[in-house]
Amino acid sequence: MTIPAKASSARIALAMAILYFVWGSTYLAIRVGVGAIPPAMFAGLRFLVAGVSLALISWGRREAMPRRAAEWATAALVGCVLLVFGNGLVCWAEQTVASGLTALIICTTPLWLMSMESLVPGGERLGLAEVAWLCLGLVGIAILVSPQLTAGHSSSAGVAALIVAAMSWSLGSTIGRHGTMPSSVLVASAIEMLAGGIGLLGVAGLRGEWTAFDAARVPLASWLAWAYLVTFGSLLAFSAYSWLLVNARPTVVVTYAYVNPVVAVLLGVLVLKEPVGPTTLLGAAVTLGAVIAVTQRRSRPAPPARHLAGGAGPEPRQSSEACPDAAP
């Protein structure tokens, strides 16, 4: 990838700082929000508003709209897998799992992505080193959750949901990487968020969240957390991420995957007084070590499996990239 001369080091550093802090703080915001707002409703309203905002921005910028039904369908499917199963399960799990532990489990997404990529025809197969890093990541998760489950600080169902969420992000990313997606990253993300938001609101209806919800009893902190996720988590950080995909090297951009959990753990300790003991630190070191090794090995550009409609597609996604709004 060629780095444009106009992309100064200061601008890249600022954009990376936004990714590090904002996406790292989303776990804290979710934890605060779902303490009073039902999880599917909380996430669904967030992505519906963010999706509408991105759609209006893309319309104002005259971004190219999808030409084929397959592009709309793939983007909508990716949005449902990423946001309904990925983010939705994170929001549900954070009712019973600490925000820092959530971030550390979700940071294993590149490991699952690597595994799913190897199952796709023509995808990069796993070598012994990749298998070893995957196993090490699983060991790290076991070290992380064992004291939390024993002490009753987290539920086993919540931990299982987070592992499924990480796998869902990997599956959605694999579908988007190899499927026929819109050529505009902005348009694709708008469709993904709209589809995911509508799907999550449907789940909220099925779970009875609408009938049980009383807006008057929601504290200001929960509403502020929701607004923060819409404006900063989905719009500001997404803009920084999209800019970095074009103006920074992949080896720099992918560092958010293992910096975000560190930020999340620190914020959880400082703001919510979440416990962090020696076992947690050991598990975090093992898990992050495996993720860092994988992202560094596979952060080189790789061409899409097939061309997008119209011939030329956007910048190729990296194997360690979850999605433009990968963070919860």
First to last CA, the chain: 28
| pLDDT(304) > 50 | no
8-state DSSP, 322? -
Spell out the domain ranges in the chain: 9-208+219-297
Task: Count other C-beta atoms under 10 Å from residue 233's C-beta.
Answer: 24
Give backbone dihedrals phi and psi of 273, rounded to 5 degrees, phi first.
Answer: 60, 35
Residue 23 has what DSSP assignment? I
Q: For residue 13, give the nearest of 322, 297, 255, 229 by alpha carbon.
A: 255
274 or 202, greater pLDDT: 202
Q: What is the pLDDT of residue 153?
A: 64
pLDDT digits 0-9 by tens, 276-296:
888 888 988 998 888 888 777
Q: What are the phi and psi torsion angles at 312 (to 5°)?
A: -85, 130
Task: At 288, list the tokens.
Answer: 């992050």
pTM (2 d.p.): 0.84
Geometric angle at alpha carbon 171, from 55 and 126, rounded to 5° = 135
Whether 91 contacts 40, CB under 8 Å = yes
CA 324 to chain centroid, in Å, comes to 8
pLDDT score of 315 more than 70: no
Confidence of residue 248 (pLDDT cuts 50, 70, 90): confident
Q: How many CA atoms lie within 13 A of 34 on its CB side?
A: 27
Angstrom distance (rounded) from CA 10 to CA 185:
24
Residue with tokens 């983010």: 87
Angle in degrees, 0-180, between the axes of helices 69-79 and 156-178, rounded to the nearest 10:
160
Question: Roughly what angle, to the nearest 10 degrees, separates helices 185-206 and 237-247?
Answer: 150
What is the maximum alpha-carbon separation in the chain?
56
The span from the CA of 38 to the CA of 52, in Å, is: 21
Exposure string over 78-95, b if 16+ CB within 10 A, otherwise e = bbbbbbbbbbbbbbbbbe
pLDDT 10s digits, 168-222 = 998 998 898 888 999 888 899 999 999 999 999 999 999 999 998 999 899 999 9
Give the pLDDT score at 323.
43
State how far the alpha carbon of 107 is from the alpha carbons of 162, 230, 273, in Å: 10, 21, 21
Q: Rg for the chain (alpha carbons), in Å?
A: 19
